[in-house]
Chains A and B, each alone.
Chain A
Amino acid sequence: MNDMANSIRTGPDDRGHFGIFGGRYVAETLMPLILDLEQHYKDAKNDPAFKAEIESLNKHYTGRPSPLYFAERLTKELGGAKVYFKRDELNHTGSHKINNCIGQILLAKRMGKTRIIAETGAGQHGVATATVCARFGLPCVVYMGKTDVERQKPNVFRMKLLGAEIVPVTAGAGTLKDAMNEALRDWVTNVEDTYYLIGTAAGPHPYPEMVRDFQSVIGKELREQMMEAEGRLPDALVAAVGGGSNAIGLFHPFLDDKDVKIYGVEAGGRGLQGEEHCASLTAGKPGVLHGNRTYLLQDDDGQILEGHSISAGLDYPGIGPEHSWLKEIGRVDYVPVMDDEALEAFQMLTRVEGIIPALEPAHALAHVVKLAPQMDKDQIIVMNLCGRGDKDVFAVGQMLGFEM
């Protein structure tokens, strides 16, 4: 690894900037609280007891480390680089989201907060938040776009079982962006007792840094597991990006390893020509929304566009600010994958490896399908299999015309 002076892993600066991205763009009511949160997070990071508690819960509650799996049949089928999966879909609650929720709920407890709110798209973050709230005995309110409530019913019921209150958001297109607006409105109203547990590596500083740190367990484990399996680092990393939390968790520990190529896969929806996609890095431009400066899908007048993706978890017109910076400095390649390619990859993995992936990592897989055959057989790709597909089975069934 490079020394710290040349490292690109040291961000953000003390005002929360990654290059020009990130920062803190919130209403004054929230500012004192966000500064307080930043201080608490700094203190917690330096507290061995905090670290030990996270490690214990990761091991005994979530089931970490998640396995590193060599997808032998898929590798043969693609006929190129060896394909490994980091199996974060095997975590308790079915996705990588729990990694972040455990860290943040412990922080909320340290801060003495007594009520938790969250936004959710696919419902994976909502389920993970409702889970840790049940585990720690805190009331939980989850904001979820009405469209997403419809297309992610199994997760809605799961959250209810876990004791969370689900608030369907009807504003806008009823997806993740609108849920986040509504969660921010709740937070500004209940600022004294409420902790906002943001699910992705976006929002006002320190959230992008904090969520990244909690998710970096993915990439840290992978380094060790890969050394054990192959005695070297991988040649390429691939992960899906919506807001970008699973991706930054995988990428961050490898950013200074210049020989490791890194690909972030955005939702190309029905194609990048129109507005029916969520490829904010490929087709958006810098703007300010939800507390940070980052790439956004927007029109020439600065109005935010709704976007579209087959995957509720990628259906967001923004992206975590560190990804915007990694794009600008050219460290990570961000590529779009279309709805139909993801759907095909979803089915392929199910048949070839007996793993039903969520639609989000199915996007990443569609890029692996393109990438692996172009690489040598002694090269290695690792993809973050960040969520399981149980939640998507009904929606995919409908798309494939299967009567349920």
Chain B
Amino acid sequence: MTDTRIDRRFKACADAGRPALVTFITAGDPDLQTSQALLNALPAAGADVIELGMPFSDPMAEGIPIQLGNQRALAAGHTMDKTLDMVREFRKQDQDTPIILMGYYNPIYVRDPKVFVQVAKDAGVDGFIIVDIPAEADDELCIPALEAGLNFIRLATPTTDDKRLPAVLANTSGFVYYVSVTGITGANIADTGRVSTAVKRIKGHTDLPVAVGFGVKTAEQAAEIGKDADGVVVGSVLVSAIRDSLDEAGKATDKTVQAVVDLVSDLASGCARSRTA
């Protein structure tokens, strides 16, 4: 097993007897300055791990909320360089909270993956979740990332059966991200009983922590899922909160950061109590 910021953070949460709260926001949404303020505010609000979305023109696995987040960021002129700048800025205040870049392959591919993993590491990135690179293409980004000392977190889904699971887990590190439904982000979560069964099934194949995402919207759901899962991932609901806080012209307001902070605090309270009852 690797020894990275991600590994250390999951262990710390496990020692504290609670699941890690993994929060997703899209870099540059709704604008660079607000997005930086959001990123910087996440740890104090209760985020244990941060997924920072790399905006892409064609986010094929996303539901409407995150699609719109991607569009807002790109419309505001966001780029990959700015995403890395955000991580560098964040690292000035926080050396412990892991940041995982999440998104699609093309914006990395055009920069040369082997160069990019090093640049990202130097900026303070801890790992990648890339939706459209399956295990069969591990040589392209996953292996270079591992060699650079970064984690590559792979998604396991309800269609990943026991036969396929070992191949999916082979080069996965940091944690396993279990996608609770067959579908896109922001969907309604499957019943928690089925999720619990799936988490146990995956744990039978790996010692890595298992985090569950896609469709987690409330503190109650986070508490329920966190009974079995080592991490709870929330994204669409945070990105929707950003949207709901914007003014009529689609610009950030003085409520934007606070809206997300309040939501994250609430979700964190769900994680905190998930194993106490």
Which A residues lie at the B interface, using CB under 8 A?
A: 15, 23-33, 171-172, 177, 181, 184-185, 188-192, 285-291, 293, 296, 298, 300-305
Contacts and interface: CB of A to CB of B under 8 A. Distances in A.
A171 B57 CA distance: 10
Contacts of B159: 28-33, 191
Nearest to B133: A25
Contacts of B57: 172, 303-305
Nearest to B78: A301
B107 A301 contact: yes
B179 A185 contact: no
Given A189-B187, A287-B106, A300-B110, A26 B58 contact: no
B131 interface: yes
B107 A27 contact: no
B274 interface: no
B154 interface: yes
Contacts of A31: 134-136, 159-160, 164
Interface residues on B, range: 35 or more
12 contacts: A24-B134, A25-B137, A29-B159, A33-B159, A190-B182, A285-B110, A286-B109, A287-B109, A290-B58, A290-B60, A302-B108, A303-B74
A32 B161 contact: yes
B132 interface: yes
Nearest to B56: A303
A28 B109 contact: no
A290 B106 CA distance: 10
B17 interface: no
A188 B155 CA distance: 14
A261 to B, nearest CB: 32
A231 to B, nearest CB: 47
Interface in B229-267: none
A46 to B, nearest CB: 24
B218 interface: no
Given A27-B132, A301-B79, A189 B74 contact: no
Contact of B134 (A25, A184, A190): A25
B160 A27 contact: no
A241 to B, nearest CB: 20
* In the A-B complex, the 9 residue pairs with the closest CB atoms: A302-B107, A302-B110, A189-B183, A29-B157, A303-B57, A302-B106, A304-B57, A25-B132, A28-B155
A191 to B, nearest CB: 5
Contacts of A171: 67
A366 B158 CA distance: 50
A292 B168 CA distance: 20
A288 B136 contact: no
A302 B184 CA distance: 22
Contacts of A290: 58, 60
B61 interface: yes
Interface in B161-207: 161, 164, 168, 179, 182-184, 187
Interface in B133-156: 133-137, 154-156
Given A27-B155, A288-B109, A302-B106, 11 more contacts: A24-B136, A25-B137, A29-B182, A31-B135, A181-B59, A185-B60, A185-B63, A188-B183, A291-B132, A296-B106, A298-B110
A244 B79 CA distance: 31
A304 B110 CA distance: 11
Contacts of A23: 137
Given A185-B60, A188-B61, A302-B106, A28 B154 contact: yes
Contacts of A185: 60-61, 63, 184
Contacts of B154: 28
Interface in B71-103: 74, 79-80
A304 B59 CA distance: 11
A144 B59 CA distance: 17
Given A28-B134, A298-B110, A189 B79 contact: no
A202 B215 CA distance: 31
A26 B132 contact: yes
Contacts of A177: 58
A171 B60 CA distance: 11
A33 B158 CA distance: 12
Contacts of A303: 56-57, 74, 107
A249 B9 CA distance: 54
B156 A28 contact: yes
A181 B66 CA distance: 14
Contacts of B59: 181
B138 to A, nearest CB: 12
B67 A28 contact: no
B185 to A, nearest CB: 10
Contact of B58 (A15, A286, A304): A304
A16 to B, nearest CB: 9
B106 A188 contact: no
Given A27-B155, A185-B60, A191 B182 contact: yes
Nearest to B177: A28
Contacts of B137: 23-25
A25 B57 CA distance: 16
Given A24-B136, A29-B179, A302 B157 contact: no
A315 to B, nearest CB: 15
